[in-house]
Structure 1
Amino acid sequence: MHPRHSAQKVLLCDLCETVPLQSRCEVCNINLCKACVGEHLSDSSKRHHVMPYLQRKTTPNYPRCPKHTSEHCKHHCKKCDIPVCITCVSSGKHKGHKLSEFRDKLNAKTQRLQKDLEELETRIYPRYEEMASDVQTEKAELETNYGELTTAAEQEGEILHREINAIVNQRKSVIQEMKNTHLSTLNKNTDEIKQKITELKQIILDLKSILKSNDVSLTSTYKSRNSEFIMLPIKFRVTLPSFSAQKINTDQLQEMFGSLSPLYINAQHGDTMKSPEAVSPPPVKPLLAVPRLTATIDTGHTLLFSVTCLSEDQVWTCGNNQTMKLLNLQSKLLTSIQTKSVNAPQDITVTRSGDLVYTDYNNNTINLVKNRKIRAVITLQGWVPLYVCTTASDDLLVTMNSDDYKQSKVVRYSGSTAMQTIQFDDKGCPLYSPARYLSKYISENRNLDICVADNETSAVVVVNQSGKLRFRYTGHPSNTKQSFYPRGITTDSQSHILTADFDNHRIHILDRDGQFLRYILCNLERPWGLCVDIIDNLFVAEWDNTKVKKIQYLST
């Protein structure tokens, strides 16, 4: 074993590495034994400062200069932001540069390190331990909590079974009563007929006897009773009761049984530490009693389909030609991009980094515009891309139809890789209509629900992150002159769902669970595309007058 690493942990001389140290050179930052001090001082290239080890100063371990290996860097050049030795300083390369003692920078850095260490030990690390303990506790309680849910479901099932058994027994009792009444009626009818048969037999015997006797007296006194029996006894015709079984409505049965709230797993940054990086929940913004029109942008398109926000005062737009326009609130054209295929884009969106994405249904591509260069990031086979949106995780959600227009689905892409397909509900029925030329605008809500405005079925179809159907919204019956005809769709920081009602010239605002909250009117004319900026201003693309209207509908 090396003597420096012995179990006694004796501090040895840095030169001979065999004798315990006694002194330290503060200049060279080296520990010395008594014998090696003289040898060290014999190096006259430096002015050494040797002192007893126990009286040493807390000399920093300065880094050696990469250019002058015999020197230590005791200064710091602020302009070059590098440590320098005295030779570097005297060489003139840092002439006019502001220098500071490396010790000063080191002291400031040391204070920062000490502060970080204190914060880690006293505040941050304990919170992680607390969170780990909370998760373990939650895991320990998981069996109990889900067991209680299972027990509640079983108890509800037992209650329903008892109710059903009671109904069945009551039905059986009524059936037995009907049977008894029916049988009693038949018995009474049988007795009456038997009595008549007995009388008839006697009359027949009497007549035969008279005819056989040739007795004039009996013959002359005979009185016919045939008229009494010409009319047969009453025959009771009974219509048997029947049992009409109701078709079981599974949805109603589910409602009768009770509801089970969905499992929501939302990843949230903790805000206990109050650090600048912590993400806090969005502030609550009530709906304005009367939404306000704050700007109108004249886009210059012939027909306007889509709008997507680049910022609070800049929007991308597209219509029925190949040109996509970036405009400000004063209707000034900032830039324009033509599609690579010179086809009109079906829809547009903006990525988290501010790049434009558009779908081209004529060549089955989804395209990225970066630095004015267009690249097809996704090319579909057998499917036609329709509408697109960017998610919180910077994925793309795309609605699409099959080439034969018989199927429709939503696909999630990470880059050019398909990560998820949403097409059918739990019963295997299609979630979306297959029509190609009717809109299926799409948006991701803050709770990660996926919302599609399915124009052909006149419904907003909302599924959760895993693709399970949550609800369909088919419009509010009040004050609508035409049937619900949704086009564009978007969501805001409050998890509201906003959809454009094209024929009724209004916007529907729903809560995250599909409950109608309010209309936005603002003299809208045939609203089509929608988007919301990061501070919850609504932008509405009007189809035939080709204007984009900016509307404030939430309190600030």
Structure 2
Amino acid sequence: MMNGIELCQYFMLTGVDSCNHISCMASSDRFWVSDVCQSLTLTNTAGFVLHRVADLCIDSYGAHTLNSENELIYIDSNYNIKKVSKDIETTTKFLEISHLARQATCVYWSPSTGDLLIGTYIRKLDIGHVMRYNKSGRLTQIAQLHNRELKVCGQPNFIAENTNGDIVVSNYTNFTTGAVVAKDRSGKHRFYYTGTKSEFRPRGICTDALSHILVCDDATRSIHMLHRDRKLITRILEGSEISQCSLSYNSNTHQLWVGLENNELYAFRYINRTDVLTDEHSSSCLYCSGIRIHFTPAIWI
């Protein structure tokens, strides 16, 4: 334990050049991880490579997700959406949304509605959107992400859904001000979060069981923990290794998975089941304040 944060597991991923994005199975020891080399790998906590997908989109970051049946949904090299069956035997094209003007950049399956949320980007206009598709693959909603006055534009890189129904997006390119953009379930704007310093470079994003929003910031090399209404609660896991990292929250084990650029993956716990049942935010917020963890290899607790 480190002031309330417990380091539970450590993995050195094999056959993966970096840990770009993680999709973990809530009730299993298996997870999908993608890297910058267009590779998507199914592996487990014992370190075995179980399957590979070769046609992942190279321009997308949060390019895969899992539905309630543990079926993989991902963006392929042609910016279309494919689905891989639970037994990994069948791959089908779920949505064909590729267009010369619009590219799919990230996907997220909603546990609460069963909808598929897809972040898209119009490069020529530097405008991002979130598109909502129902279980039948019908487009039901488009929400625009940019704000010209705040200079918040750019590409949606990672997307997640909070327990209150908000859609939260990590929005950043090299030419714009980075931001976490939050929309409610209807697509109405909730807030922008642009960090606490002059530069904010958001990367991986997820939400936890207490409705906190966690986002990796490349500029401060830390993970920002936000209240669901935008306020910064604290920065956790500060250190030079927190760079372009990916985040995933396992709601079954209440573990925060942190994947690093050098293909290391850590699982931390800072929320226990009592916190979730009583919804007492103080225990998971106050204990995290000011924590700096220096990552060392092959640690098991």
TM-score tier by shorter-chain length is 0.7 to 0.9
Residue 8 (structure 2) aligns with: 294
2:22 to 281, 304, 307: 307
The equivalences for 1:199-278 within 5 A come to none
Name 2:298's counterpart in structure 1.
Answer: none
Aligned equivalent of 1:507:
223
The corresponding residue for 1:539 is: 257
Give unmatched runs, 5+ long, in structure 2: 274-301
Aligned counterparts of 1:344 and 1:424: Cα–Cα separation in 2: 22
Greater relative CO, 1 or 2 (CA 8 Å, sep 6+): 2
Aligned equivalents of 2:113, 2:159: Cα separation in 1: 16
Return the match for 2:33 from 304, 310, 317.
317
- Which amino acid is the alignment partner of residue 366 of structure 1? I
Give, in angstroms, the shift of residue 319 of structure 1.
0.6
Counterpart position of 1:458: 178
In the alignment, the residues of structure 1 paired with residue 179 and residue 249 of structure 2 have an alpha-carbon distance, to the nearest angstrom, of 21
Contact 1:424 1:430 in 2 (8 A): no
| Displacement after TM superposition at 1:428 (Å) | 9.3
Distance, in Å, in 2 between the alignment partners of 1:331 and 1:522 is 26
Aligned to 1:551: 268
User: What is aligned with 1:396?
Assistant: 116
Corresponding residue for residue 96 of structure 2:
379
Q: Report the Cα offset of residue 349 of structure 1.
A: 0.6
Partner of 2:297: none
Q: Is the 8 A contact 1:409 1:432 kept in 2?
A: no
- Give the letter aligned to residue 446 of structure 1: T
Equivalent positions of 1:464-503 (< 5 A) are 464-477=184-197, 483-503=199-219
For the 8 Å contact 1:364–1:383, the answer to whether it is kept is: no
* Cross-structure match for 1:116: none
Alignment coverage as a number of residue pairs: 257
The yes-or-no answer on 1:419 pairing with 2:136 is: no
Residue 358 (str. 1) matches residue 46 (str. 2): no
Offset at residue 345 of structure 1 (A): 7.5
Higher percent of residues as helix? 1
1-side partners of 2:68 and 2:151: how far apart? 28
Shift of 1:417: 1.2
Q: Distance in 1 between matches of 2:126 and 2:238?
A: 38
Residue deviations 1:497-531, cap 9 Å, x none?
11111243321111111111122217543152211
**In the aligned structure 1, how far is the partner of 2:238 from the partner of 2:267?**
10
**More deviation, 377-386/323-332:** 323-332
* TM-score, length of structure 2 as denominator length: 0.77
Q: Partners of 1:522 and 1:342 in 2: how far apart?
A: 31
C-alpha contact (below 8 Å) 1:408/1:423 kept by paired residues: yes
Deviations 1:337-383 (A, max 9, x none): 223x47548311111111011113x4120111113222121111342
Q: Determine the C-alpha separation between the residues in 1 that align with 2:199 and 2:154.
A: 20
Paired with 1:440 and 1:343, the residues of 2 have a C-alpha distance of 12
Equivalent residue for 1:176? none
Counterpart for residue 287 of structure 2:
none
The equivalent of 2:164 in structure 1 is: 447
Could you say if the C-alpha distance between residues 448 and 378 of structure 1 is closer, same or farther in structure 2, counting changes exceeding 3 Å? same
Partner-residue secondary structure (3-state), 2:270: strand
- State how far apart, in whole Å, the 1-side matches of 2:57 and 2:260 are: 21
What is the aligned-residue identity percentage? Answer: 26
Give the Cα–Cα distance (whole angstroms) in 2 for the partners of residues 514 and 322 of structure 1: 33
SS in 2 for 1:397: strand
Name 1:52's counterpart in structure 2: none
Q: Counterparts in 2 of 1:136-155, with a 5 A limit? A: none
**Offset from partner CA, 1:227-286 (integer Å, 9 cap, x none):** xxxxxxxxxxxxxxxxxxxxxxxxxxxxxxxxxxxxxxxxxxxxxxxxxxxxxxxxxxxx
CA spacing shift, 1:508–1:395, aligned 2, 3 Å: same
Task: Indicate whether 1:409 and 2:126 are aligned.
Answer: no
Mark the CA change 1:410 to 1:551 in structure 2 (over 3 Å): closer, same or farther: same
| Root mean square deviation, CA, Å | 2.6
For residue 293 of structure 1, report the CA deviation from its aligned partner: 1.8
- What TM-score do you get using the length of structure 1 for normalisation? 0.43
Give the structure with the larger strand fraction. 2
Q: Which runs of 5+ in 1 are unaligned?
A: 1-287
